[in-house]
Amino acid sequence: MRKKKGLTIVEQAIIAVPEFENVCKKMASQVSLGGQSESTLNNYVRRVALFVLHFKQLPEEISEDEINEYLVALARDPKSPSRLASSIWFMACATISDCWG
């Protein structure tokens, strides 16, 4: 078993933006209703947590232009695991937009 070395990305995001905890709960409900796996939920939540940490606010408080700039930077970042990250983000946005709508 892997030893925990500090806070997870999600825990860091909740500390930075406490309201993010409610977003996580809403996302869990939406993903569950959509019949998606817990692994899918965890991936979505981690990606959104990175976004929250980057902007230090909830995604619904960010303009569409800022979101697009973030996605472009992510896609161009050679350290990014893959361009798939942008695709995951778009899927997460589609899922969580129902929570905020």
With contact defined as beta carbons under 8 Å apart, do 23 and 41 qualify? no
Which of helix, strand or coil describes residue 2? coil
* Helices within the chain (DSSP H only): 9-16, 20-33, 38-55, 64-76, 84-100
Query: pTM here?
Result: 0.69
**Mean pLDDT for all residues in the chain:** 80
Q: Is the pLDDT of residue 14 over 50?
A: yes
Question: Which domains occur in the chain, in start order?
Answer: 9-100 (1.10.150)
Which of helix, strand or coil describes residue 91? helix
What backbone phi and psi angles, to 5 degrees, belong to 95?
-70, -45
Inter-axis angle of helices 38-55 and 64-76, to 10 degrees?
A: 110
Q: What percentage of the chain carries pLDDT values higher than 70?
A: 74
